Structure 1
Amino acid sequence: IPYSKFKHEIARALERAGFVTRLERKGKRVKKVLDIGLLFRDKKPMVEGVFFFSRPSRRRYVPYREIKFPRRGGIVVISTPKGVLTGKEARKEKVGGELIAEIW
């Protein structure tokens, strides 16, 4: 996928949560890309679905106390002042932010 700092931070959060096995930045300057290797179990990808909360037209913010635990053992990705974190990490750090997506 085309590289951006924000996409790289989201991919790092997925890596910490165990959904990604490999994360590499390739290329130079304008042609930078992210190479992401998804984790598979029994020949099925760990990422079954994604739901995006925030859009450019509708941002959704949440305090840390209202961060919900997602369904089916997934994670919630949140953009906080401390960087892009999973819901579990944000609750531990006691920091809220913009809800980006739920991944299961």
Structure 2
Amino acid sequence: MSLTDPIADMLTRLRNASRARHPEAAFPGSRQKVAILDILKREGYIAGYVVKDEEKKQSIQVKLKYAGREPVIRQLERVSKPGRRHYVNARDLKPVRNNMGIAIVSTSQGVMTGRKAKKLNIGGEVICRVW
């Protein structure tokens, strides 16, 4: 099976697993997914993740984080899609939910939060927003 948008698939699996209150979510791996998960872990949206290397395949298992019975991730929203890419300048990077969320941006210097990209004065492709 071929996926048109593997990042959207990962975000959907994370969203569905957290809403169903599952302790973990699993999906096929890639370097960009690992970079996004690094940011989610650093910002406190997930408890952790493990990358498993099997024969010619990589899979990722994410441990989800909850505040009591409520998931820490309220919403994951894909911004830039394969059919409609969304690029922004550093000055056009706006706060997500009055700084209660984050934007994840793919820049020439790697994947980072919107806040960090704005501080470094570099723009890029807005991958998703999380709050």
- TM-score, normalization: structure 1? 0.92
Summarize the alignment of residues 1-104 of structure 1 with structure 2, pairs less than 5 Å apart: 1-71=27-97, 73-104=100-131
Return the offset for 1:25. 0.5
Q: Distance in 2 between matches of 1:83 and 1:15?
A: 16
Give the aligned CA root-mean-square deviation in angstroms. 1.3
Q: Distance in 2 between matches of 1:29 and 1:96?
A: 37
Q: Distance in 2 between matches of 1:70 and 1:5?
A: 25
4+ runs of 1 displaced by more than 3 Å?
Answer: none
What does the per-residue CA deviation read over 1:7-45, in whole Å, with 9 as the maximum and x for residues that have no partner? 111111111111111121013242321111122101211
* Unaligned runs of at least 5 residues, structure 1: none
What does the per-residue CA deviation read over 1:32-61, in whole Å, with 9 as the maximum and x for residues that have no partner? 211111221012111111111111111010
Which protein has greater RCO, CA pairs closer than 8 Å, 6+ apart?
A: 1
Q: Give the aligned length.
A: 104
The code of the aligned residue for 2:46 comes to V
What does the per-residue CA deviation read over 1:55-87, in whole Å, with 9 as the maximum and x for residues that have no partner? 111101001111010116111010011111111
* 1:17 and 1:86 in contact (8 A); partners too: no
The code of the aligned residue for 2:122 comes to V
Aligned residues: percent identity? Answer: 34
